[in-house]
């Protein structure tokens, strides 16, 4: 949603538009053998020094469509979108925190370290 205050009617209209977009994705997937790959919003720009070459590396880290959950270091599962938000210094949505209590223990440094580690490993579920 936008940063400015919205009236309840405007907020309802924005939510209906968002829902219509998600419904279109689901309808398209239903026509394509029932496969549903919801997009994961957001990305994180990571920078590190490659140990092997000594070069500075910069990579835009984003999850592939359909990768809505990721396992964190202690083995618990959290929402991919929430990890991206936390890594960028934003707060996870209340709905994500309610659904994934492990997010209460996750801070920006932990989220950035997780994403950086996944990128260095070349995880197949990253874009």
Q: Scanning the structure block, which residue is given the tokens 């618990």?
A: 76
pLDDT along the chain (127 residues), means of 10: 72 88 76 70 90 88 91 91 94 90 92 93 91
C-alpha separations of 52 from 60, 80, 115, 117 in Å: 20, 29, 19, 15
User: Which pLDDT score is estimated for 2?
Assistant: 46
User: Which pLDDT score is estimated for 1?
Assistant: 44
Task: Pull the structure tokens for residue 83.
Answer: 């990890």
């Amino acid at each position: 949603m936008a940063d400015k205050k919205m009236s309840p009617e405007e907020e309802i209209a924005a939510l209906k538009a968002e829902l219509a977009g998600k419904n279109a994705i689901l309808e398209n997937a239903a026509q394509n053998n029932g496969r549903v790959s919801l997009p994961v919003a957001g990305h994180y720009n990571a920078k590190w020094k490659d140990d092997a070459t000594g070069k500075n590396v910069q990579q835009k880290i984003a999850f592939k469509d359909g990768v809505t959950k990721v396992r964190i270091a202690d083995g618990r599962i959290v929402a991919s979108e929430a990890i991206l938000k936390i890594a960028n210094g934003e707060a996870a949505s209340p709905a994500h925190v309610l659904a994934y209590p492990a997010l209460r223990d996750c801070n920006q440094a932990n989220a950035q370290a997780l994403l950086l580690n996944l990128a260095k490993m070349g995880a197949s579920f990253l874009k």
